Chain A
Amino acid sequence: MAKTFKGRPVVPGKATASALVTHNGFNTLASFQKALMFKDKDAKCSDQNNPDIYEKPMHGAALCLPQTIGSTTGGMVIYCAAALGQQPACMLFARPIDSLAAAGAILADVWTDVSMPVVDGLGDEFLAYVKTGAKVEVKEDGTVIVE
């Protein structure tokens, strides 16, 4: 049965994709490092410290996360991933978005033509409910439907 969650659209937009869920903080640099280096179109996650998503493809996924952590290259990395066509379909934050992820999402929105909706504040229940592989639909107003 589908369940609906309501968050804040940081970068409004529509998307439908399969969920990729990390319960740990998403280390942006560690996760995208190898994908950027080796032009991996699937953008398989290279963060060995994150068993939830290690080696799973991030490109085109509905990335569900608490927040991002790690290096302050994080925003630039999200921007590069978007500009190179390796970005997730959308980023869905359980917690309020952090400054690095927000920078990346906004850089991608202002400086590229890519559409990558970003919603934050979906709550801990969202992250507890959504499972990797579930179909997720994102609406312009920040509504997220998990099937």
Chain B
Amino acid sequence: MAKMELTPEQQAILDGEKGEAMAKVMKTLVVYGETFGASKMVPVTSEYGHLVTSFGLSVMKPVYSLMDQLISGGALAGQKFSVDPRPLDKNVPSSLLQDLVFKFMYSKQSDYEEQLKTLGLLNPDAFTCTCYMDEVGNKPKKGDVLSWAESSAVVYANSVLGARCNRNSGILELFGSIVGCVPYFGLLTDEGRKATWVVEIKTSKKPEAQILGSAIGMKVMEDVPYVKGLTKFIGTELDADATAYLKDFGAATASNGAVGLYHIAGLTPEAVELGEKLIADGAKTYVIDDAELERVRASYPCIWKDADAKPKLCFVGCPHLSIKQLHDWTNALSGALEKAGRKKVAIPTVFTSALAVQAEFKKTPDYQKLLDMGVTLSYICPLMYMNNPLCGKQPVITNSNKLRTYTSARYHTDAEILDLLSKGGN
């Protein structure tokens, strides 16, 4: 592997002039960069970082021990950062036994949050997977170089905001924030942002964001897709509806595959600017029609013990909901309940979003309307909730393909979720 050219400052850190911990941080980044043929490091230019590891899971001792090494070695982040959602919220329905398991599982939560605070946590409420929401305030500019992790946030920042970030792993993203630079390769480069797949949407109606993203992720894996034919369904403006759609679509591409960047013809910033110049020579084609989406959906396994069980819980908001989605879900649910002659949801339901988004939502009449329907509003990470084996055994439903991928939760479309919440049933 070719050696990376380092600045005198970077070389000094590697040589141990700022201590052993900093030297190991730099060594990790250098070896990582050289693996991908990076010739140099480039400065991180975003105001804030974003970390994926938010949970004080008792079995993750190696991570906490590494954090201790960083702190004691003075290797603190040079930029503040937000973090993925907290794993626990007492407002989310759980039994006494489940609570006991949570207490054991996440026994390191407060210790870990102390470590995050010392390392550079933005503020005590900066826990969300959608840090790029206006209300949260960690929204990079087009062209910014990031050292982020969280697959759904990285793909959103790259694709919708036009920032530049590789699909960094947890821990590596913190290392970039600590030394203030990242290896220059992959999605940071113009060449790495070219599409090697052209996806043609030929469906008869607007595709479910979560299934479309899943289909593309499974097909292209970590490649960059250039998606044609979607603007006729979601428009040519990056408004609140389109960005919410792309948030959910992107999360599915990144969790069902490993997509870090997509271009939507006529919509996302680089596709608008460069058009089909973004398509690499020899790009492959993937045509998606109604039958293909149906085939993909039919491939999802259901691992409930009793496949016909009545759902006991419903999660909506993985990734966290935008304020527009909170309003839209509240009103759609209200309409569905009224039509069904009910006042409250038939299945205990949790909507999740960032605390800063909730603060704005709570100023509107829709908040009380949501509570009156019996829905819980939480900042939790549903995936972390489902990691509790007693919760994982429950029949849980969701409209999130990401949650489906990592847990036993069963996927339903938005329309099916509304139907189940308003009418009950299996």
Q: Bound pair: A and B?
A: yes
Q: How far is the CB of B191 from chain A (nearest CB, A)?
A: 15
Q: How far is the CB of B100 from chain A (nearest CB, A)?
A: 15
Interface residues on B, range: 35 or more
Q: Which A-chain residue is minimally distant from B25 (CB atoms)?
A: A110
Contact indicator per residue, chain B 241-269, by CB within 8 Å of chain A (1) or not (0): 00000000000001111100000000000
| Cβ contact within 8 Å between B149 and A72 | yes
| Cβ contact within 8 Å between A100 and B171 | no
A4 at interface, CB cutoff 8 A: no
The answer to whether A72 and B167 touch (CB under 8 A), given A102-B32, A106-B31, is yes
| Cβ contact within 8 Å between A103 and B169 | yes
Pick the contact of B406: A10, A33, A36, A97 (CB < 8 A): A33
Q: Which A-chain residue is minimally distant from B402 (CB atoms)?
A: A71
| Cβ contact within 8 Å between A76 and B221 | no
| A80-B57 Cα distance, complex, nearest whole Å | 12
Pick the contact of A72: B27, B36, B151 (CB < 8 A): B151
201-252 of chain B: CB within 8 A of chain A? 217, 221-222
- Cβ contacts under 8 Å, B406 to chain A: 29-30, 33, 70-71
| Cβ contact within 8 Å between A103 and B172 | yes
B66 at interface, CB cutoff 8 A: yes
A134 at interface, CB cutoff 8 A: no
The answer to whether A36 and B59 touch (CB under 8 A), given A73-B169, A98-B167, is yes
Q: How far is the CB of A108 from chain B (nearest CB, A)?
A: 10
Q: How far is the CB of B171 from chain A (nearest CB, A)?
A: 5
| Cβ contact within 8 Å between A107 and B258 | no
| A98-B36 Cα distance, complex, nearest whole Å | 9
Contact indicator per residue, chain A 79-102, by CB within 8 Å of chain B (1) or not (0): 110011000000000000111101
| Cβ contact within 8 Å between B59 and A69 | no
- Cβ contacts under 8 Å, A77 to chain B: 170
Contact indicator per residue, chain A 1-38, by CB within 8 Å of chain B (1) or not (0): 00000001010000000000000010101100100111
Pick the contact of A74: B169, B173, B301 (CB < 8 A): B169
| A102-B166 Cα distance, complex, nearest whole Å | 12
Interface residues on A, range: 35 or more
Q: How far is the CB of A116 from chain B (nearest CB, A)?
A: 14
B94 at interface, CB cutoff 8 A: no
The answer to whether A48 and B303 touch (CB under 8 A), given A72-B150, A76-B170, A100-B169, is yes
- Cβ contacts under 8 Å, B221 to chain A: 25, 66-67, 69
B365 at interface, CB cutoff 8 A: no
| A77-B186 Cα distance, complex, nearest whole Å | 22
| Cβ contact within 8 Å between B27 and A110 | yes
- Cβ contacts under 8 Å, A60 to chain B: none
| A66-B257 Cα distance, complex, nearest whole Å | 12
| Cβ contact within 8 Å between A70 and B258 | yes
Q: How far is the CB of B53 from chain A (nearest CB, A)?
A: 6
- Cβ contacts under 8 Å, B167 to chain A: 72, 98-100
- Cβ contacts under 8 Å, A106 to chain B: 28, 31-32, 35
- Cβ contacts under 8 Å, A68 to chain B: 258
| Cβ contact within 8 Å between A67 and B151 | no
- Cβ contacts under 8 Å, A69 to chain B: 217, 221-222, 256-258
B154 at interface, CB cutoff 8 A: yes
| Cβ contact within 8 Å between A79 and B255 | no
Q: How far is the CB of B163 from chain A (nearest CB, A)?
A: 15
B168 at interface, CB cutoff 8 A: yes
Q: How far is the CB of B400 from chain A (nearest CB, A)?
A: 13
Pick the contact of A80: B60, B151, B301 (CB < 8 A): B60
- Cβ contacts under 8 Å, B31 to chain A: 106, 109-110
Q: How far is the CB of B322 from chain A (nearest CB, A)?
A: 21
Contact indicator per residue, chain B 273-310, by CB within 8 Å of chain A (1) or not (0): 00000000000000000000000000011010000000
Pick the contact of A107: B53, B57, B172, B222 (CB < 8 A): B172
| Cβ contact within 8 Å between B63 and A48 | no
B323 at interface, CB cutoff 8 A: no
- Cβ contacts under 8 Å, B1 to chain A: 8
A129 at interface, CB cutoff 8 A: no
Q: Which A-chain residue is minimally distant from B259 (CB atoms)?
A: A69
| A77-B60 Cα distance, complex, nearest whole Å | 9
List chain A positions with a Cβ less than 8 A from chain B. Answer: 8, 10, 25, 27, 29-30, 33, 36-39, 48-49, 66-77, 79-80, 83-84, 97-100, 102-104, 106-107, 109-112
Given A36-B59, A98-B258; 9 other pairs, CB 8 A cutoff? A25-B257, A48-B301, A69-B217, A74-B170, A76-B169, A76-B170, A80-B62, A99-B168, A107-B169
A-B contact pairs, 28 of them (CB 8 A): A10-B35, A29-B406, A33-B387, A33-B406, A48-B301, A48-B408, A66-B221, A67-B221, A67-B222, A69-B257, A70-B405, A72-B151, A72-B170, A73-B170, A75-B170, A76-B52, A77-B170, A83-B62, A98-B258, A99-B167, A100-B258, A102-B35, A103-B171, A106-B31, A106-B32, A107-B169, A110-B28, A110-B31
Of all A-B residue pairs in the complex, the 10 with the closest CB atoms, nearest first, are: A75-B169, A83-B62, A103-B169, A76-B170, A72-B149, A69-B258, A103-B172, A72-B151, A73-B170, A100-B169
